[in-house]
A and B are shown apart, each in its own frame.
Chain A
Amino acid sequence: CGLVYTPDVQQGNLLDKKNVDQLQPGMTKRQVLVLLGTPSVISPFDQDRWDYVSTFSHRGKPMTKRTLTLTFNNDTLVRTEGDFFAQDAEQLLKDSKKYKANPTGDAEGDKNTSGKKDDDGGFGVGVSGSSDDSPASKRNQK
């Protein structure tokens, strides 16, 4: 039922419209990688078929799916088919708001931030047991 909260499930790649438009056949796999990034599905048994799958299911509702399939023939792009969610940054921002995480991080009052600057600590910490024998070697401090 809709009442029970199941966290949103988002999977796969989000592609930019302007990048996808720059795709044309004959590009090498490396060029496609630079343009669209790593595909989310590459079957272990068929290296020449890349699927940029993107799925989204909001609060447990049925999943909406879009896939852009690229097929290669010994390292050159042959065919592109399917469609994709046009990545809408604004929408993504609204999504991320649901976690109410304030981007400026925790205030000073937080005691449990672990990243406190610890001081020089014990003797052991300061010494890196570098094996070079020259006494005047610069000791790299942590």
Chain B
Amino acid sequence: CSMFRSKKETIDTMPVDRLYANAHDSLEHSDYAAAEKAYERLIARFPSGDINEQSQIELAYAQYKDNKPDDAYSTINRFIKTFPTHKHADYAYYLRGLINFDRTGGFIERYLSRGNSASTRRDQGFNLTAFDDFSQLTRRYPNSAYATDARQRMIFLRNQLAQFEINVAEYYLRTKSYIASADRAQYVIEHYQQSPQTADALAILTRSYIALDRQPLADQTRKVLALNYPDHPYLTDPNWPHHPSIWRKAIPFSGHH
């Protein structure tokens, strides 16, 4: 009731340390909306000092957790611009990468579809941004605690991007647009050599060359494939990759891939 209200300090009147404690406490109990409001008031009321800097990072984290990726991204960017040499700057870069890490593909699509086929079949814009942000982290702070995890995530993202290209190459192979499938496969070989998808790319490239009557090129590519990925399915089965048969696709909700 209102009687208590007047006595209890609001976030507009609290001193800085109690306000920070209040905000941090909401963050701990994952009440992100309240945490966000409290941090914003703290930043506005106390525009200087370590607490302000710490609050800006935690504000970005709260917004990220509160499923507001765009706000979080602009907050963290402003922090990095204002405090480039802050002691937690490496965490800021790491958080910036995290924000876009798993944004590709809608939430339901990712939840329902098997594996991560959801995020390798949609607009790769966020994956690319996340990859760049993580690479900035590993370049500026190679031995930061977050760099190792960032490298793992970069590998995962690179494989996502490569798998996306492979999916498109498979589509063009299926619809007999062989030069398109060859170009896409070649794009994977040139840009994502270390990714496991290079094997599929080599296989698709070989099949495309065969279809285009470029036998010498096909043999050459097949030799490279056999050398590097001896147990790739294509080596044993010439019409890999297989696609669900027409009957299986006729069953509703059977998924298309």
Contact = CB atoms under 8 A, between A and B. Distances in A.
Contacts of B179: 11-12, 40-41, 53, 55
Interface residues of A, number: 17
Given A12-B179, A41-B182, A67 B221 contact: no
Q: Is the interface of B mostly helix, strand, loop or mixed?
A: helix
Contacts of A67: 212-214
Q: Is the interface of A mostly helix, strand, loop or mixed?
A: strand
A53 B221 CA distance: 18
Interface stretch (B10-18, B43-51, B170-178, B243-251): B170-178
Given A44-B189, A44-B190, A53-B212, A63 B176 contact: yes
Interface string A41-57: 10111100101010101
A11 B221 contact: no
Contacts of A63: 176, 211
Given A44-B190, A45-B224, A46-B220, A57 B176 contact: yes
Contacts of B189: 44
Interface string A101-123: 00000000000000000000000
A65 interface: yes
Contacts of A11: 177-180
Given A11-B178, A43-B209, A49-B217, 8 more contacts: A9-B177, A40-B179, A43-B217, A53-B212, A55-B212, A63-B176, A63-B211, A65-B212
